[in-house]
Structure 1
Amino acid sequence: MTAPTTSARVFLVRHGDTDWISGGKFASRTDIPLSKMGEKDIEFTRDRVVAEDEMIDPTGIAKIYCSPRINARRTVEILGIGVHHHQHFQNEETGQKWRSESVIKGETADPYIHITKSLEEWDFGYYEGMTLQAINEKRMKDYGSGTWDIWTDGCPGGESPQQVTERLDKLIREIKQVISSNSASWPGGQLIAHRSQHAQDVVCVAHGHILAALAIRWVGLPLDTGMMRLIFEPGGVGILGFEHDNINQPAILVGRKPGRPDREQRSETGFAQASR
């Protein structure tokens, strides 16, 4: 008999456009709101992928994580994923709770949208508010080299690849625990989730570099290898999952047909995966 598997997915959603993104400036600590175009970015994404039986099905969401930055929180509000008639937010560090009046697409299993520092953008340190050209000019002056690679160099006065790795790995362990809460141990120690109607999907709403780093760490690759270059456009959605639907084989779904797979059947395997 074939063991049941998990069709759980982790959706990575980048916030919409901001004035700093349009100007090519790097923002991490600075709280930059969405621009009018940024709000339209998220409305466009919401109207095409967020609905029951669509790619992001609110009824299938077990937990929502969000960066503390105002552009990420506003993105969640526009997406309309939450519970009941309001969205309920909770800051994981302070315990503060609040709610929005957004139109809700459907209920989620967890009563709160979790605001976590784990999804703050990679801290750009001294490069905060600078353009790539200005950063390279500064590095030429400071180090005699004008080519900056965040994945290997990190950010002076900010975070190194190792520091980002440590905070993301902690979040990944928590996400996998959320998904594995519907799991059972099978012969050989394999942990496979029960196929059921229970919500299993996780949504992470954050920023371009930290979401790319999260995807790389999801499949166990080091950030400083320079082997992967992942790009999240404003309002873009990335998907993480599991190869062969095995919860012990995390994968990046780089090709996915629209809609949500039937939860009563084994999910489709006709998409490319970059796996560990």
Structure 2
Amino acid sequence: MSDQYDITPRVIIARHGQTDWARVGRFTGTTDIELTQKGIGQISTAAATLVGAGKLLDPRRLTHIYVSPRTRAVETFKLLLPQYSDFVPGKVTFTEDIAEWDYGNYEGLKDMEIRNLRKMRGLDGEREWNIWTDGCEDGESSQQVTERLDKLILQIKEIQKPYMRGEKPADVLVVAHGLILRAFAKRWINWSIDRDLPMEIQPGGIAVLSYKDNDTNKPTLNLGLALP
């Protein structure tokens, strides 16, 4: 049997590098903020280590790239793949579908500040606030996030479906933000956003999603990859 990891299209997800707000735990959704010097270093190191011919992220295998339009994500994309730093029609899409969760009234706050604010307003008497279930006041609900992610996932599957047995390289890269990428991973495996799946992706981190048995109806999380 063929080694499916050599031929099955993958979705490579990359979180932007550190920002000043991310460094101190502030919820950063719609606010446009640049990478810190450390964040630039994180992405530069990832690019040198993981990007290139025969490496985890091989530009020759990319058929499409989706990038959040927020500055921190765009900077990350340009550092990872400088050869695509100019918009490439048909190859790169900057889309709000993979922008960070809109935190509404919670923008710029820390987790405990949000919880205290809600309790001052008489909320969460029976249970603690959970963004996956409750969403954000004057921001996005989990249903709204689900709808836009599902639209993007459908596009990706349509792109990759004709090439599930290696007819041509068809990897897709998604460059975005911490919370939305965790939500993306849940929706990728058809889990509801409010279903508990403890996971983390660090600033500058890269992870891989794919399919089992070369089948778009069997999306998977790759827990480990064999090196080329």
Q: TM-score w.r.t. structure 1 length?
A: 0.76
Structure 1 residues 180 and 234: CA distance shift in structure 2, 3 A: same
SS in 2 for 1:114: strand
Q: Is the 8 A contact 1:14 1:206 kept in 2?
A: yes
Q: Which residue of 2 aligns with 1:217?
A: 187
Is 1:239 equivalent to 2:208 in the alignment?
yes
1:132 corresponds in structure 2 to: 111
1:89 aligns with 87
Among the aligned pairs, what percent are the same residue?
36
- Counterpart of 1:25 in structure 2 is 26
Gapped regions of structure 1 (runs ≥ 5):
91-109, 183-192, 260-276
Aligned 1:46-125 pairs, distance under 5 A = 46-80=47-81, 82-83=83-84, 87-89=85-87, 112-125=91-104
User: What displacement does 1:238 show?
Assistant: 1.4
Contact map agreement 1:16 1:41 (CA 8 A) in 2: yes
CA distance in 1, matches of 2:23, 2:117: 21
Matched residues in 2 for 1:41 and 1:150: separation? 28
2:198 equivalent in structure 1? 229
Pick 1 or 2: higher relative contact order, CA cutoff 8 A, min separation 6.
Answer: 2
- Provide the secondary structure at the position in 1 that maps to 2:172: strand
2:129 alignment partner, one of 142, 148, 157 = 148
Shift in Å at residue 82 of structure 1? 3.9
| Distance in 2 separating the partners of 1:180 and 1:81 | 28
| Structure 2 contact 63–91 (Cα < 8 Å) conserved | no
Q: 1:254 Cα deviation (Å)?
A: 1.6
Q: Note the alpha carbon deviations across 1:177-202, whole angstroms, 9 max, x for none.
A: 110133xxxxxxxxxx2323x22000
TM-score, L = length of structure 2: 0.92
Selected match of 1:180 from 142, 147, 161: 161
CA-CA distance at 1:141 after TM superposition: 1.1
What stretches of structure 2 of length at least 5 have no aligned partner? none
- The residue type paired with residue 188 of structure 2 is W
* Deviations 1:114-165 (CA, angstroms, capped at 9, x unpaired): 1001011011110000011111111211215483311111111101111100
Secondary structure in structure 2 of the residue aligned to 1:181: helix
- Contact 1:63–1:201 under 8 Å retained in 2: yes
Indicate yes or no: 2:171 matched with 1:201: yes
Shift of 1:236: 0.4
